[in-house]
Structure 1
Amino acid sequence: MTSQRADAAARRALILDAADAVFGQHGVTAPLDLVVERAQVGRATLYRNFPDRTALVEALLQRTVARIQRQVTALGERDDALFEVLEGMAARIVQSPALSDYWRAVDPDDPAIKAARQTIWALLDAPIQRAISAGLCRPDLQATDVSLISGMLGAALRGKSREERAKLVARALQLLRSGLQGPIRPED
């Protein structure tokens, strides 16, 4: 039974990897047959795991939230954890622009989007507080500001190629880091 569960989990991960790659290359409206082909599974396997496109996209969103959670956990008590997570979010935008654009376009009150946003806010609350305490960022930064920051990073989606998006997101991170640090105070 455990072996069957492990096989099912592996197939599910394979489908998600394939969907991520296909949607990243062709957009979220790409034919699901491309996902089946890339994952090298049957259509029945795809639909047994994900009854429709929405379920597949939501699973990718949940996977992204889980990735952020793992990163926050791995960074532990580092004062700069917030900035590392933001860099990870930026890299994800470069890697998968179609999914990032889709998630930005979905109604913010959509239950899956709302739950993901609230989970991310909760995950980033402690790293924000550590960054503030260490003097790495402005004291008025709140977890809810992460949605605005994500939107700012999303401007990198305007890049027509992966390289252009990478340059835009790198510049956005530079500007954001400076802005998050707050105004420079003259020395007494």
Structure 2
Amino acid sequence: MTTQRADARRNYARILAVAEAEVAAHGADASLEQVARTAGVGSATVRRHFPSRRALLEAVFDQRIDALCVRATDLTVADDPRAALLEWLTALTDYAASARGMADALLPDGAGDTDHVNACSARLGSAVDPLLTRARQAGAVTDGVTTTDLIAMVTGIALATEQRPDPAAEAHRLLSLAVRGISPDPGGTAPGGTAPGGPTASEGPTKRA
């Protein structure tokens, strides 16, 4: 019995890891059959752990939310609050741009689904609030910008670019433009002295947008 439980846990973890890679490569249309083949299990095993495509997508979504929350918590001790916030926004953009179709696939279709989405949003917001607060205190973000604003901004960018030939590159270009919009910069220069044509957030956490 213990061996069976251990095997089930390993299968679950393997299926979820493969599913995340498939979603990154193919979006919400990732094939459950391909997930099963790549994970080295039968389709029945996949469906035993995840009865529907939606259940599998929700599990992938939840796992990525967990990772983004951990990333946000880790970044709260970074020396540069502005760079820390930009690094997290870049990570969120990376995921949002790769998870094509996830927004439509996870649209609430019932009260239970709404509760799930709201719980994930609340969890993500709670993890990011300290990052935004530190950036605001450092003068890197204008007053009035909220965590909800930032998540909505990245979600909108991902939805607007998912049909482009290179969604990730276009998403990061738009993120760079948006970052300048939330920065307290009346003279047209991003915080830290970088001109509008300078490095972007997608060039790495050590660069200035």
Q: Same fold (TM over 0.5)?
A: yes
User: What amino acid does structure 1 have at the position aligned with 2:98?
Assistant: Q
Q: Which residues of 2 match residues 32-51 of structure 1 at below 5 A? A: 32-51=32-51
Question: Which residue of structure 1 lines up, in the alignment, with residue 60 of structure 2?
Answer: 60
Q: Secondary structure at the match of 1:158?
A: coil
Alpha-carbon distance change, 143 to 94 in structure 1, aligned in 2, over 3 angstroms: closer
User: What amino acid does structure 1 have at the position aligned with 2:136?
Assistant: I
1:157 matches 2:185:
no
1:126 matches 2:127:
no
Contact 1:93 1:156 in 2 (8 A): no
User: What's the TM-score once normalised by structure 2's chain length?
Assistant: 0.74
User: What's the TM-score once normalised by structure 1's chain length?
Assistant: 0.82
Q: Secondary structure at the match of 1:21?
A: helix
Contact 2:28 2:99 in 1 (8 A): no
Contact 1:50 1:56 in 2 (8 A): yes
Return the alpha-carbon distance in structure 2 between the equivalents of residues 69 and 25 of structure 1. 23
Q: Which of 80, 88, 96 matches 2:99?
A: 96
Summarize deviations over 1:22-51 as a string: whole Å, max 9, x none. 334444344421211121112232122212
Question: Which residue of structure 2 lines up, in the alignment, with residue 9 of structure 1?
Answer: 9
Aligned residue-pair number: 181
Greater helix share, structure number: 1
Return the alpha-carbon distance in structure 2 between the equivalents of residues 27 and 72 of structure 1. 24
Return the alpha-carbon distance in structure 1 between the equivalents of residues 3 and 137 of structure 2. 47
User: What amino acid does structure 2 have at the position aligned with 1:107?
Assistant: P
Question: Which residue of structure 1 lines up, in the alignment, with residue 168 of structure 2?
Answer: 166
Question: Which residue of structure 2 lines up, in the alignment, with residue 138 of structure 1?
Answer: 142
Return the alpha-carbon distance in structure 2 between the equivalents of residues 111 and 65 of structure 1. 15
Percent same amino acid at aligned positions? 29
Question: Which residue of structure 2 lines up, in the alignment, with residue 71 of structure 1?
Answer: 71
Aligned-residue Cα RMSD (Å) equals 2.6
User: What amino acid does structure 2 have at the position aligned with 1:149?
Assistant: M
Contact 2:73 2:128 in 1 (8 A): no
- Structure 1 stretches of 5 or more lacking a match? none
Question: Which residue of structure 1 lines up, in the alignment, with residue 108 of structure 2?
Answer: 107
Alpha-carbon distance change, 54 to 114 in structure 1, aligned in 2, over 3 angstroms: same
Q: Secondary structure at the match of 1:92?
A: helix
